[in-house]
Structure 1
Amino acid sequence: MNESAHRRISILVVEDDPGDLGLIQVNVRLAGIRRIGDRDPVVWAPTLAKGVVAATASKPDVILLDLSLPDSTGLETVEAMRAVAPEVPIIVLTGQDNHRLAEEALQAGAQDYLVKGQFQHDALGRAIRHALVRQRLESRLSLFRAALNSVANGILITDIHSTIEWANPAFTRMTGFSLAESVGRHPGEMLNSGKQDQQFYQRMWETILAGRVWTGELINRRKDGSLFAEALTISPVTDSNGRIQHFVAIKQDISERKANEERVQHLAHHDQLTDLPNRSLLSDRLFQALAQARRDRGIVALMFIDLDRFKPVNDTLGHDIGDLLLKEVAFRLQACVPRDSDTVSRFGGDEFVILLAQIEKATDAVVVAGKLLAALDRPFLIGPHHISLSGSIGIAVYPQHGEDVNQLLKNADIAMYHAKTAGRNCYRFFREVTEVTEG
């Protein structure tokens, strides 16, 4: 008993010759295909038009389709039936001299073909069984294809030499390269940004050629030349003997996530008003500068600046004008310390701290202090207001005035208060106890 005998299958026969229909019905019974309740498993339609109606109404499991009907012949018959029943397997029925037409029908979407007058029940049962299996496989493949084409992540399939064999639409949206442009090429030659060194790719290849999954992040280049951050997973695909045959790469554009992470990091370490490094970032940079100075026996200077007469501006002109004034102060202070190794930070309120890393001698800070005082002494034009300010600057130098972050900050702050008591608009170096020397 074959597999068909264990199933109740409805068969639509689109055949204009009653004699051929009778032979088909006999072979269906001999193949063990059961009735569906009190209904015959075979539904007959003598023309394509009636077959289209029957296919829509009865929803058959299989269609036996004659390619020579009174109202349609050849491939048009297959195409018309596929249009109304795209998920139903079609077995075409041909005459003895129509093998070429039958093969063309297979290319047009038919599952199999039988030559009328040359098949018996076992051939018919086998053709129906195989057609149903192939249709299920094709439906599953269509589902997989639709799923791969609809996912948001880019997917590449390459051979073992990294030659692209297939790419989904998300890959095209991500990179700008179409499927036609990608097949036959290597991802490296298309997307390489030069941001990863040779060791990066060597470690990747060592992993996947060993049969393991590789996961990482990298910077790639789109077709238009723009860069994007990518999370990449590459999985080896092996045959039944464990030999690697293909690689599947899943690519996710993480540029927006990376940009958000950078914005969060920036906000965590910068003053929101002036965009200068905040106290946390200053402390980190001072710690690193001191570590470098210890190794090189270098000198580091810390300058604590407090604005003179800033509070009356806030009290009389309002906080909005005060905020604009602080922004302009920050701009002028930055212009006085152009070295990349130096840091201008807002410490809080109207207090700023400047880190001078890797100076040659302590008196180098005097030159910078003079520039800072001159910059603050020039009137500020904020809207319709001409505002005059000045600054009091305290200077502490490593290693004379402290050897760690907290000690240097504390002593620079003390020196700033001595500058205040000395009449403001000046600088003072830290001296132990209360001795203060003007620079």
Structure 2
Amino acid sequence: MSKSVPKPLSILVIENDPGDLWANVRLAGLRAIGDSDRVASAPTLEEGLAAAATAKPDVVLLDLALPDSTGLAAVKALRVVLPDVPVIVLTGQDDHDLAEEALRAGAQDYLVKGQFAHNALGRAIRHALVRQKLESRLRLFEAALNSAANGIVITDIHATVEWANPAFTTMTGRTLVEAVGRTPGEMLNSGKQDAAFYQRMWDCILAGRVWSGELVNRRKDGSLYDESLTISPVTDRNGTIRHFIAIKQDISERKAIEESVQHLAHHDHLTDLPNRTLLDGRLAQALAQARRDRGTVAVMFLDLDQFKPVNDILGHDIGDLLLREVAHRLQSCVPRESDTVSRLGGDEFVILLAQIDKAWDAAVVAGKLLASLRRPFTIGPHHIDISGSIGIAVYPHHAEEVNGLLKNADTAMYHAKKAGRNCYRFFRELAESTAVDA
């Protein structure tokens, strides 16, 4: 297989002394690159910048002592016009400080005329071209990271931030200057995750594995946000972990939508009370806890008295407003956060008392519920008087599972209706299938 022929280089030499140009450039270095290399020259910086447009050089050899520019100004001017073309400084000044300044200004190398060995310039050009390609690639990678929508953070092995992109600032309110030298834990910890959470994360990444999860972090202004986080270990050639790269995404909006969907799926659209699905889940949980603790749970089935005439005479809009006000009053009567007021539909409500000491506690709450409903309701210009009928079933006396308790409480409610309404009845499993007062 024949070797590919290297592409000839286009070299621009900006040098005002022809003797220096050929003695120090052509004879000392370019011959090693190849006689086919194209060399253009210019005696001033202005002409050199103009020649760059037509010569399209692969590399520039620059003297720092030009008639129209001296020192590092020529390097900086060339970097503006030719940002992706390597510049090698050729100068008669053997000055270490000047060499460092030239490199910081953007030069790829610094050679002193008459002091570099044969072929040194050729090597310098080849190395400058390689470095320039690497720098261009790094700039491309940095541009990509800086334009990424997700926050990207690079830390050392101790999680100290070394770099972060603008999306990190947008997400957290922390600038790169504020972030470098600190750990994400110092800046973002919300206290919502415990020590065990972070220990599992560290165990994973220190073992060389990628960790992914969700957590709640705190912005600079103190506000909390939900974050999806992936941390990847970065190893050296020997497999030793040297850095971590964290990819961060603000998922607060997504979480809010998910919570909204969940809420709508488990709550009544009119009153915002828990619906049958959520009630069943909470009742099952309360019964499981009661079985473990040998506790008592009460279920009250409440139906409004004379609600149908409200809809028929005043209309469904007034009826809906009345149901919302009923929901507020019922909620104000339950004693604990663990209790639940739910709406099954129509004018039927179920109240779950998850933890009571004895059955009589349910009767006390039922009395409060009935009293709250007896107070007149004012809906717009209308003054409405209604009442309620309540049936009560208690675990473990009347049933031991969800459906049984709800069914028996419903049965007891119908007996309260038959007893004249505006009262409560406990379920009693008698031969005549009646429900009597507690």
TM-score, normalised with respect to structure 1: 0.92
2:160 maps to 1:159: no
Aligned partner of residue 8 in structure 2, secondary structure = coil
Instruction: Give distance in 1, aligned partners of 2:93 and 2:160.
Output: 45
Structure 2 counterpart of 1:351, from 345, 348, 351:
348
Distance in 2 of aligned mates of 1:181 and 1:436: 71
Of stretches 216-225 and 122-131 in structure 1, the one that deviates more from structure 2 is 216-225
5 Å matches for 1:22-421?
22-23=22-23, 24-25=25-26, 30-33=31-34, 35=36, 41-97=38-94, 100-119=97-116, 122-421=119-418
SS in 1 for 2:312: helix
Give the unaligned 5+ runs of structure 1: none
Q: Which is further off, 87-96 or 199-208?
A: 199-208
Instruction: Check 1:100–1:295 CA distance in 2 against 1; reply closer, same or farther (3 A cut).
Output: closer
| Aligned position for 2:7 | 7
Give, in angstroms, the shift of residue 233 of structure 1: 2.1
* Distance (Å, rounded) in 2 between the aligned partners of 1:19 and 1:139: 34
User: For residues 421 and 96 of structure 1, do their structure 2 counterparts lie closer, same or farther at Cα, with a shift above 3 Å needed?
Assistant: closer
In 2, Cα distance between equivalents of 1:332 and 1:116: 94
The alpha-carbon distance between structure 1 residues 243 and 435, as it changes in their structure 2 partners (threshold 3 A), is: same
Is residue 30–residue 121 contact of structure 2 (8 Å, CA) maintained in 1?
Answer: no
2-structure distance, mates of 1:329, 1:114 = 90
Per mean C-alpha deviation after superposition, the further-off stretch among 83-92 and 201-210 is 201-210
Unaligned segments of structure 2, at least 5 residues: none
1:74-101: CA deviations, max 9, x gaps? 1111111111111111112212545543
Contact 2:72 2:105 in 1 (8 A): yes
Closer, same or farther: CA 399–16 of 1 in aligned 2, 3 Å: same
CA contact (8 A) 2:28 2:120 kept: no
User: What is the letter of the counterpart of residue 146 of structure 2?
Assistant: N
**Offset from partner CA, 1:333-366 (integer Å, 9 cap, x none):** 0111131221100011111000112222222222
Whether the 8 Å CA contact 2:306–2:386 is kept in 1: the answer is yes
Distance 1:6 1:119, change over 3 A: farther
Deviation, structure 1 residue 294:
2.2
Give the structure 2 partner of residue 436 of structure 1. Answer: 435
Q: Is the 8 A contact 2:153 2:246 kept in 1?
A: yes
Deviation at 1:299, TM superposition (A): 2.1
Task: Give the counterpart letter for 1:33 in structure 2.
Answer: G
- SS of residue matched to 1:7: coil
% of aligned pairs identical? 75
CA distance in 1, matches of 2:434, 2:307: 27
CA distance in 2, matches of 1:285, 1:375: 25
State how far apart, in whole Å, the 1-side matches of 2:303 and 2:160 are: 64
CA contact (8 A) 1:12 1:44 kept: yes
Offset of residue 29 of structure 1 = 5.8
CA shift, 1:177, in A, is: 2.4
Deviations 1:215-253 (A, max 9, x none): 222222222222222222222222222222222222222
Residue 28 of structure 1, CA deviation: 6.4
Q: Deviation per CA, 1:113-144, whole angstroms, max 9, x where unpaired? A: 23334457622221111110010011111112
Change (3 A) 1:4 1:84: farther
> How far, CA to CA, are the matches of 2:215 and 2:169 in structure 1?
18
Q: Which amino acid aligns with 2:317?
A: D
After superposing the two structures, state which structure 1 stretch, 401-410 or 114-123, moved more: 114-123
Give the counterpart letter for 2:32 in structure 1.
A
Amino acid at match of 1:298: G
Letter paired with 1:250: I
TM superposition shift of 1:284: 0.9
Q: TM-score, normalised by structure 2?
A: 0.92
**Deviations 1:257-289, CA, capped at 9 Å, x for gaps:** 222222222111111211111101111111112
Counterpart of 1:437, as a letter, is V
**What's the C-alpha RMSD, in Å, of the aligned pairs?**
2.3
Mean Cα displacement is larger for which, 178-187 or 130-139? 178-187
- Residues 56 and 84 of structure 1 are in contact (CA less than 8 Å); yes or no, is this contact kept in structure 2? no
Tell me if structure 1 keeps the 8 A contact 2:29–2:119.
no
* Aligned-pair CA distance for 1:4: 12
The DSSP-based 3-state class of the residue aligned with 1:6 is coil
String of CA shifts for 1:9-42, please: whole Å, max 9, x gaps.
Answer: 111122222333344345666224364xxxx711
Which has the higher mean CA deviation after the structures are superposed, 130-139 or 242-251? 242-251
Residue type of the alignment partner of 1:287: A
Is the 1:56–1:85 contact (alpha carbons within 8 Å) kept by the matching residues of 2?
Answer: no
Encode CA deviations 1:285-313: one digit per residue, 9 max, x unaligned.
11112222222332222111111222222
The amino acid that maps onto 2:230 is T
CA distance in 1, matches of 2:40, 2:408: 100
CA contact under 8 A between 1:157 and 1:248: conserved in structure 2?
yes
Whether contact under 8 Å (1:429, 1:436) holds in the other structure is yes
Question: Letter of the aligned partner of 1:407 in structure 2?
Answer: G
423-432 or 277-286, which moves further after superposition?
A: 423-432
